[in-house]
A and B are shown apart, each in its own frame.
Chain A
């Protein structure tokens, strides 16, 4: 059961925008709108940032947005801030009632 594919790392300067991709198949990302994104700071539990492809939970900054095209979902962070430096994971429902995570992307704010 292979994980979703994310870039290992991305970086950006404060104020800039970055996008993290999450590529799956028609059995997961492409077939369902159940894609979520999590932020994880070192030593901390993951925090839900986006669900159902593009919805933000209450309290999450509107600088975070999500989208999907075909088998690839994307997380965009605009107006980068130092506090955004963290690991980011996507997840998706996969057919036959299972869930799969991406391998994670380390975001560095330069």
Chain B
């Protein structure tokens, strides 16, 4: 059974860079059928897609976040990572990693496996 687990600091200071890692187990991140994505959810609010990456390094980002976001992949560790720079209180959210099917497998632009999420608070 595929499992994803987010890890990283739960508290980040304003203007600094938020860094999270997602470790994939029970399957290979190098699957040709899937991308791997990050989604966030501010407390009490809705879901927001941040971006996704293929094991080969190809990325898609939400346009409004693109200038601050970097998603990278480490196939040797079966991990992918998120960096969000110049954070503010508005970036406080539960951050989820998930497997992203863009249409090569079961369907298009869906997330079928999710991590449990990790709360990141931006505060001094």
Q: Which residues of A contact B (CB under 8 A)?
A: 1, 3, 32-34, 36, 38, 44-48, 51-52, 55, 57, 89, 91-93, 96-104
What sequence of 0s and 1s flags, for each residue 80-124 of chain B, a beta carbon within 8 Å of any chain A beta carbon?
A: 000000000000000010000101001111111011110000000
Q: Per DSSP, are chain B's interface residues mostly helix, strand or loop, or mixed?
A: loop
In the complex, chain A residues whose CB is within 8 Å of the CB of B111? 36, 38, 46, 48
Q: List 26 A-B pairs, Cβ < 8 Å.
A: A34-B107, A34-B110, A36-B110, A38-B47, A38-B111, A45-B114, A45-B117, A46-B47, A47-B114, A48-B111, A51-B106, A51-B107, A51-B112, A52-B110, A55-B107, A89-B47, A91-B49, A91-B109, A92-B109, A93-B108, A97-B60, A98-B63, A99-B62, A101-B49, A103-B46, A104-B45
The yes or no answer to B67 lying at the interface (CB within 8 A) is: no
Known pairs A89-B47, A102-B46, A104-B46; A52 contacts B114 (CB<8 A): no
Query: Which residues in A have their C-beta under 8 angstroms from that of B110?
Result: 34, 36, 48, 51-52, 91
Known contacts A45-B116, A46-B114, A99-B49; A1 and B63 CB within 8 A of each other = yes
Tell me how far the C-beta of B6 lies from the nearest C-beta in chain A, rounded to whole angstroms: 10
Smallest Cβ-Cβ distance to B46: which chain A residue: A104
Given A1-B64, A97-B60: A89 and B108 interface contact (C-beta under 8 Å): no
> Complex formed: what's the CA distance from A101 to B48 in Å?
6
Q: How far is the CB of A32 from the nearest CB of chain B, in Å?
A: 7
Are B46 and A89 within 8 A (Cβ)?
yes
Q: By the criterion of a CB under 8 Å from any partner CB, how many residues of chain B are at the interface?
A: 23
CB-nearest residue of chain B to A96: B63
CA–CA, A51 and B103, complex, Å = 11
- Chain B residue numbers with a CB within 8 Å of A100 are 49
Given contacts A91-B110, A104-B46, 17 further A-B contacts (CB under 8 A): A1-B63, A34-B107, A34-B108, A38-B47, A45-B114, A45-B115, A46-B96, A48-B110, A51-B106, A55-B106, A89-B46, A91-B47, A91-B49, A92-B109, A98-B60, A101-B46, A103-B46
